[in-house]
Each structure stands twice: as C-alpha cells, then as structure tokens.
Amino acid sequence: MTGTELDPSTPVVVGVGQFSERIGEPGYQALSAVDLAARAVRSALRDAGADEGALAGAVDTVAGIRQFENSSPVASAPLGRSDNYPRSVANRVGASPARAVLEVSGGQGPQHLVTELAATIAAGDSEVALAFGSEAISTVQHLASADDKPDFTEHVEASLEDRGFGLQGLITREQLDHGLADVPAQYALFENARRARLKLSREDYATAMGELFAPFTKVAATNPHAAAPIERDARELATPSESNRPVVDPYPRYLVAREKVNQAAAVLVMSVRAAERLGVPRANWVFLHGHADTRERPLFERDDLSRAPAAVLAVEHALRTAGITVADLHCIDLYSCFPIAVFAVCDGLGLATDDPRGLTVTGGLPFFGGPGNNYSMHAIAETVSRLRQRPGGYGLVGANGGMLSKYSVGVYSTTPVNWRADTGAEIQAEIDSWPAPGHAQQADGWATIETYTVKYGRDGKRSAVVIGRLESDGRRFVATDHGGDEELLDRLCTGEPIGTRVYARSFGFGNRVTTTAERMAELFPPRPKALRQRYEFVEVRRDGHVLEITINRPESRNSLHPPANQELDEIFDAYFADDGLWVAILTGAGDKAFSAGNDLMYSASGKQLWVPKNGFAGLTSRRQLHKPVIAAVNGFAMGGGLEIALACHLVVADETAQFALSEVRVGLIAGAGGLIRLPRTVPPKVANEMILTGKRISAQQAQQWGLVNRVVEQGAALRAARELAGEILAGSPTSVRASLQVMEQTQGIPDVVDAVTHPTGALDDLLVSEDTIEGITAFAQKRPPVWRNR
C-alpha cells in the first residue's frame, strides 16, 4: 500500500519518548511525576522529527495514566500531587488541548489508551493526541520524611475527564478481609495453581521461573532507563538469600515487579493528514495493525486459576486482525509483573518461554521497573523504536491489569495499513458466557485446597491464604489461617498441599482453615451459651424472666466496633438458649444515643471493621429471633443503630429520639438490613427519602409510620420497655415463641389464604405443650395461669 492509498484519518504513532532518573546518580533532580512525564513528552515530540512547537500546539487530546498515589480510594500522596495531571503535563510542554483524560487504574491502561486514541482519530473526532504516564515512587519515598521535602501539589482550573479508579469487579470486601489486598499474594495463587497443574516440584518450578526471567535481566542490563540494570542468572533469581528474601510463596523479591522507580513514557499519535501537514517524516510512522481488549471473569468465577484464557484470546484476536501469526513477530513484550503473567500467555499460545526473539523489549517489570500503571507505555516506546530499525517487521505489546483481569494488546508495524475497527465484542461475550463454579462466602466443613500462598513478613512471621473447594458441594471459597497456626503453615510449606484436605469454618471476620476439625476446635473453642459475669463494652442485668442489655460506650454514642459486636452476639446466643429468659430489652448507656451504628473511627484507624455472622449487634442477620427483643431507644438511633431497632420485634422510644439511615452521607449503604427492613416497615416513599437522603425523623414521626410502638417522655424509654416486657410476660412464653415462628415462616407468602394454610409444626407442638394445658385450665378455673415455658 502506498502513502496515497492511505485514508487521511488513519492513525499513526509518530513519536515516543522516555525519561528516568535514579537516586544517587549524576544528574538526579528529584522530579515530580508531572515533571518526569513532561520530560518524556518533550522526548516524544522531538522523536517525531518535526517542529516541536507546532506539534505541541496541534495536540487536541491528552490522556494520562494514574499514578499509584491516585489509583485507589485509600492511596495517599505524601508530597502532594496535581489535581489535573494530564493538563499539568500539557502546560509544561506548551500544549492547550481541548480534551484531557485521566485513565482508570490498571496496567492495561497504556495500550488501551493508545488503541482508544487511535480509534478516536480514525473516527475524525481528534487529530493529534498524546498519551503519557509517570511514577516518582522512588523519589517520594526517599524524601517523604525529609525536613526540606518538596511540595508536588498543583491545582489546574480546567476540564478533566476523570474516569475514576476502575476497580469495580477487581477487588471485593471478601478479598480484603482475607488478605488479598497485596498484589504478590494475588498472583501467587495463580502461580501455585499452575505449578500443581504441571505436577512440578517446588524446586523445579523455582528453576523454571528463574530461567524465564534470566533473559529479561540481560535486556534490563542494557536499558538506560532500567531501575535495576543488573544481569542475574536463573539460580540467583530463584534462590532466596539475604538480598532476595521470600515475599510470598513462591516468589522471592527478585521475581516481583519493582515499583520503586522514577520513570515516564509518552506516545504521540496523529492522523496521516496531520502528520503530513506537520511535516512528520514517513520513516517515523508506525501503524497499529491489530488490537484487542478483554476482561477476565472475577476471581471466584474463573474455572481454572492456573490459566489466563481471556488474555490469550486478546492476543489471538489482535494477531488475527493484523493478519499474522506469532511466528511473524519480530519483537514481543508480555507484561511481566510476575512469572505467571508471562507463563499463562505462553501456555495459551504455545509460545516457548525461551523463544530466541525474547519476551520483553524493556527488561520486564522486576528489572526494568514497574512504574505503577504505566509500564506498557515504555514497552510501546521500545517496540516503536525497534520497528523503525527493522521496517516491515511486527511487534506485539501485551498489557495486563488487575489480577490477570484486564488485557490490552497492540500489534505494531511500519507497514502502512488503514485503521481496522474493533471487532472484539463477540470475544468478550464468549468470555462472559463461560461457566463458573459455585461460590461460598461462608465456608464450613471439609474442603480441598485448590491453590494457596504463604506470606512472609520481614520479621519472619508467616500467614496463609487458601482457595478451596468444599467437599459437600464443590463451591469455591477463600480463607486464611488462624494467626500462628504452625500446623497448617507447615503443611502449606512442604510437599504438595494442593489437592489435600483442610477443615474450614466461617466467622464474622472471615473464613479460617486448618488441618482437621479437631485442630479447628483447639483454635476456636466452642463458645458457651451462657451469660458471663462481666463484659467490657456491654452491661447485662437479669430481672426474673427479663434480660436487660445495655450498650456501654457512651463516649462514642454507643457505636459498635468488633469487640462490642462480638459481646452482643455472645449475649444474644445466651439469651436465646436460656429457657429461663423470655424477653430481652436492648438499650444504650446515657441519654444521647441508643446507638450511632458502626464505629467508623475504629475503621479509620486502619483496623478491620467486621460484624458477627449473626449480624450487627448479633441481631440483624440472625435467622431465628424466636423470643421477643425490645429496643428501648434513648436518643439517636442512627445508621446501624436504626438497623438494630428494625431487627427488634418492638421499639419503645423517648420523645427526643431520632431515627436515620445516614450511611449515604459517609459514602456507605445500610447493608445490615436497613435497605430491606425499612421499606417493609414504613411507607415506601418515606423509606426512599430516609435511605436516599439520610433524613432524620422524630420519635413521633416514627410512631406515626409504624416504626415505633410507643413514645414516652424523655428518659422513660427503659421504664416503658420494662412495662411492655411485663405485658408480654403475662402471656404464655410458649405461645409467644410459636407466634413469632409462624409470623416468620409466612412473612414472604403474599396470598393470605396460602399463608394461613401454610404447614407448620409450631401449632402442633403448642397443642401438646404444658403451657396450653395450663392456660386452658387456668381459664376454666378463673385464676391467673402459671406458665412453665414448656
């Protein structure tokens, strides 16, 4: 194809640039992420071979890759950062683009952006676009505690298309609760699953990982931008040592992506029309011949954790679009944060891991460096440079994000070609249709280990993460060890643990596994269902058949943290198991609050905020509340406090009480039952307003709408609850329990007759109870009944 045959809107990569600096080396300037990126962009503009000022002035779109310090809601920027990173960089180089984009998190971002910008240019919606990214992690960590530390804060008043973190579906509360927040542990699960599938010993697999990455170190050693330009052999990479400490099984430090870097890269893309107008030499043009973007199923929905089929499909589709095969490639760069990211793609393609062309053009993330989400921008820059030196050759860049979750591929060549639009929707539909194993959030019973990892702290302490399958139904679950369970840890660290049996048990704080049921009982002794003499955060008072329970954290408005929740769960276990207790009253200490809900300050301190399996306060998820619970609301019942009240059978409130589901005002939802119970208790429109705005309502309004049974004068809620309890005690406790049982069993039956005729054993049991006989006898004898509760 000649130049005249090209569609003028065809996108071409015309300039690439990189910049880096290392602490302690000559010329180190302690540049910010913005300044690093600006240096890379200037390099890309120079690389295009035309007037730099004219090129910068022609840029209509800039797209930036997020830094790690802006890649999650909990990330921080110790030295400050720009609030409009793309435009801060554009301002440095004299560009005034109409559009600025900040891409989602993930290593797929660079290739995805280049593909997207090329498509936008082909559609005529852009002419000249810049994609760039940078990280100054090494500098930030180096200077964060310095007395004269710099301030990298910038404010830019201009438009920004901020696409958000893009973490939906990549990380869940369940994963966080089970120690799967750190990336090495996530990838180690896949790595160990692959080792077991191949039936390799630990030693043989370690050798294979070292042999895979040893050639990468050779490339890094000659790359002037590499963070660790040191050639190492396979044995050194795979053998733990003082400098190569174990991080997680099976990774020592040398096999893990290196994030402490100061690196930046940029890619300049424009239409053929613009390239000709701006005088970019044709020798600099590189075309995107094939491309693909796929997304893998969520972790628990993947059939085989040892493979990455969505990534393989992406590469195959990109090659097919380009009209070539793997054999036609001149150079290859496969994302290499960990060995499995390379192995899995090679497995699927039938590509030898020692292919003489090599599998990296940079040196790979552990050796060249892993600059946050931006690594593959460097891979694209290196690929473009190599292809210009070998006109007509093809290069492939595979970019990975998440937990082998998102994969973007580009196939490049200097050979001219018109734009080929994306046709990958059918591939993604195929991926989404793949069957998924069942998933158990709460795992109890015997199970088989599917994969695992052991994490090693710098202090030598070990902890484990296990993915298992329940023997009862095959559902997959995640679990951890109970801290210090050496018996399990030794099992995981010797021989082949995958395929062996473990015993699982679920708790409010997550699933735990160990070697046997007996060992589980040792680690978690059965909790006696009896009241203790003393609790730290709750007071209990037994008055005949009534149990009074007082949340005793007035300094925090009786908000609940895990220890308080655990005590309440234990107390309610004892209440429901004690035949001598017929009614419970729950209230809060002081006169300010019944409960302000979850103790968010506890969570803000970095501690895990969990609730028992029976729910908030041991009530909101309890399946059977077969004896009455009365809430005596004195003051605020906010958020989780209202959810507790909603879970109770009866509510008494003093006249100053206020009720609200205030979670939306702190970025949460009423997930402990408020979203379910409130619309079933008050009129739907009232519930909608309370839930969606966090609106507070008074005790009088709450009574009007059926949320509260009785409103009493200030300070009298507990006394009124005791009176209500007395009225309940006048009836048969057996009848009360049976009534609650029937109401619970028929709650979801819409047809009244169906509900009335619904079979239940409660009435049969009641008819032969001593209380029924006593009640009828006492009525006939015209005397008060003496209830026996049986």
- 251-291 tens-digit pLDDT: 999 999 999 999 999 999 999 999 999 999 999 999 999 99
Residue of 103, 301, 663, 774 with catalytic role = 663
Is it the case that residue 589 has pLDDT exceeding 90? Answer: yes
Angle at 401 between CA 368 and CA 271, to 5 degrees: 85
Is it the case that residue 731 has pLDDT exceeding 80? Answer: yes
What single string gives the DSSP state of each residue in 248-281? ETTEEGGGS-----EEEEEEEEEEHHHHHHHT--
> Which of 433, 464, 492 is at the close of a domain?
433
What secondary structure letter does DSSP report for 270?
E
**Average pLDDT for 184-207:** 97
Three-class DSSP category at 410 = strand
> Which of 433, 458, 481 is at the close of a domain?
433
The CATH number of whichever domain residue 476 belongs to comes to 2.40.50.840
Tell me the C-alpha distance between 49 and 280, whole Å. Answer: 6
Q: Within a domain: residue 740?
A: no
Q: Which of 507, 582, 21 is nearest to 262 (CA)?
A: 21
Are 49 and 24 part of one and the same domain?
yes
Phi, psi of 453, deg, nearest 5: -155, 160
**Contact assessment for residue 362 and residue 220, using Cβ atoms and an 8 Å cutoff:** yes
Is it the case that residue 320 has pLDDT exceeding 50? Answer: yes
Query: Considering Cα of 673, then 674, then 679, then 681, what sign does the dihedral take?
Result: positive
> Which of 492, 523, 554 is at the close of a domain?
523
What percent of the chain clears pLDDT 90, i.e. is strictly above it? 85
Assigned token pair, 739: 């009534």
- 90-143 tens-digit pLDDT: 999 999 999 999 999 999 999 999 999 999 999 999 999 999 999 999 999 999
**Average pLDDT for 482-490:** 93
**Domain hosting residue 611, numbered range:** 538-729
Q: Within a domain: residue 157?
A: yes
**Average pLDDT for 642-646:** 97
Average pLDDT of the residues of the chain: 94
- Matching residue, tokens 């000249």: 128
**Per-residue confidence at 743, pLDDT binned at 50, 70, 90?**
confident
**Average pLDDT for 563-575:** 96
Are 505 and 543 part of one and the same domain?
no
**Average pLDDT for 724-750:** 86
Are 27 and 159 part of one and the same domain?
yes
The CATH number of whichever domain residue 583 belongs to comes to 3.90.226.10
Are 502 and 577 part of one and the same domain?
no
**Amino acid 168: pLDDT:** 84
Assigned token pair, 384: 């473009």
Alpha helices in 637-716 (DSSP H): 640-647, 674-681, 684-693, 699-704
Are 455 and 385 part of one and the same domain?
no
**Average pLDDT for 447-472:** 95
Assigned token pair, 85: 């990173």
Are 72 and 108 part of one and the same domain?
yes
Residue of 52, 316, 643, 689 with catalytic role = 643
**Amino acid 2: pLDDT:** 47
Q: Within a domain: residue 108?
A: yes
**Helix or strand holding residue 17 (H, E):** strand 11-20
Q: Within a domain: residue 575?
A: yes
Is it the case that residue 1 has pLDDT exceeding 80? Answer: no
**Average pLDDT for 739-768:** 79
What secondary structure letter does DSSP report for 301?
G
Q: Within a domain: residue 200?
A: no
Are 470 and 549 part of one and the same domain?
no
Tell me the C-alpha distance between 620 and 614, whole Å. Answer: 7
**Helix or strand holding residue 594 (H, E):** strand 593-595
**Amino acid 476: pLDDT:** 98
Are 670 and 773 part of one and the same domain?
no
Alpha helices in 469-559 (DSSP H): 486-493, 517-523
Q: Within a domain: residue 297?
A: yes
**Amino acid 173: pLDDT:** 87
Are 418 and 453 part of one and the same domain?
no
Torsion region of 607: left, alpha or beta (phi above 0 gives left; psi -120 to 50 gives alpha): beta
What single string gives the DSSP state of each residue in 536-587? SSEEEEEETTEEEEEE--GGGTT-B-HHHHHHHHHHHHHHHH-TT--EEEEE
Are 612 and 645 part of one and the same domain?
yes
Q: Within a domain: residue 180?
A: no
Are 618 and 670 part of one and the same domain?
yes
Sheet holding 394-401, edge to edge: 287-295, 406-413, 394-401, 331-334
Reported pTM: 0.91
Three-class DSSP category at 184 = helix
- 340-367 tens-digit pLDDT: 999 999 999 999 999 999 999 999 999 9
Q: Within a domain: residue 215?
A: no
The CATH number of whichever domain residue 418 belongs to comes to 3.40.47.10
**Average pLDDT for 676-700:** 95
Active site residue 663: yes
Are 502 and 402 part of one and the same domain?
no
For the chain, how many residues are written?
790
Task: Please give the tally of structural domains in the chain.
Answer: 4
